[in-house]
Amino acid sequence: MFFLPLFDDNPTKSFPYVTRAIIFLNIFIYFFQLSFNDSQLNNFYASYGFIPANFFDSESLIYFPSLTSLFVHGGFLHLASNMLYLWIFGDNIEDILGRTKFIIFYLVGGFAASYFQAVFEPDSIIPLVGASGSIAAVLGAYLLMYPRANIKVLFWFFIILQVINVPAFMVLGVWIVGQFFSLSSMVESNVAYVAHIGGFFSGILLFLFLKNKNASIFSESVSQPFQTSTVKAAYSSRIYDRKRSSGIKRYD
């Protein structure tokens, strides 16, 4: 059984320039990393990754890796999964907050996630890298704002291949619950689950602080949940929305 979120049915009013720029920057840095040998790559992680022990020992008011670590990834799947979730959910949060506030939200949410992980492992010298903390903040804000928005999820079970409309509260609810259940395997998996959890709840609080007062939470869905379609029909519908509907999200 395999589930993969593809895109959402959630219109935006503006083009997500910041979200796209962040995705491009992450991809660019990853391909830059591919030019390193193993020794150079380890030095790169040590220089630009968030190291909890160094953070607490630092006498400077600004710990530069708090920001740089958010744009460095440890592998292709790490990058791909993060950018997929940012692609799906980031544009709507940028649309609500505006570009400047979204940049602040993204960076502060990422720092908060790293800080939670550092508090949990204050003596760790293992660099924390990846956009997961910032994206966890985006997911928290999205769940608060659009719990009933439908996510087009690819479902694959043996010969069955369908795209299903799944409400965001189910997709993101399963994700955050999974982070808690995975805490016991954090050391073996080398995944910063505490950062994910910290980023998620920090994102909710930060979003409430930054959003305009007239932006109501728990917005309605624009499509019906649990409808199914073929992969081709799902993408044809997406293309139709992009080309012919005013105010609908553009996926190009």
Using CA atoms, how far residue 74 sits from 48, 241, 242, in Å, is 12, 35, 33
CATH of domain 2-244: 1.20.1540.10
Domain boundaries, given as residue ranges, for the chain: 2-244
Reading the block at residue 210, the tokens are: 């930054």
Taking the C-alpha atoms of residue 162 and residue 164, their distance in angstroms, rounded to an integer, is 6
pLDDT class for 227, splitting at 50, 70, 90?
confident
Per the listing, tokens 């993969």 go with 4
- Segment 28-46 shows an average pLDDT of 94
Choose the weakest-confidence range: 21-30, 45-54, 217-226. Answer: 217-226
Helix axes 168-181, 193-210, angle to 10 degrees: 140
State pTM to two decimals. Answer: 0.89
Nearest-angstrom CA–CA distance, 18 and 196: 22
pLDDT higher than 50, residue 247: no
Residue 99 in tokens:
């570009």
The pairing of strands 2-9 and 228-229 is: unpaired
How long is the chain?
252
| Per-position b or e across 23-57, b if 16+ CB within 10 A of its CB | beebeebbeebeeeeeeeeeebbeebbbbbebbee
Q: 117-131, 170-184, 221-235 — which is least confidently predicted? A: 221-235
Of the candidates 4, 2, 10, 11, which has an alpha carbon nearest to the alpha carbon of residue 225?
10
Record the tokens describing residue 136, joined without a space: 């966890």
What tens digit of pLDDT does each residue of 132-164 get? 999 999 999 999 999 999 999 998 877 778 899
Going by C-alpha positions, the residue among 67, 71, 92, 97 that lies closest to residue 82 is 71
Range in 11-15, 16-20, 30-34, 240-244 the model is least confident about: 240-244
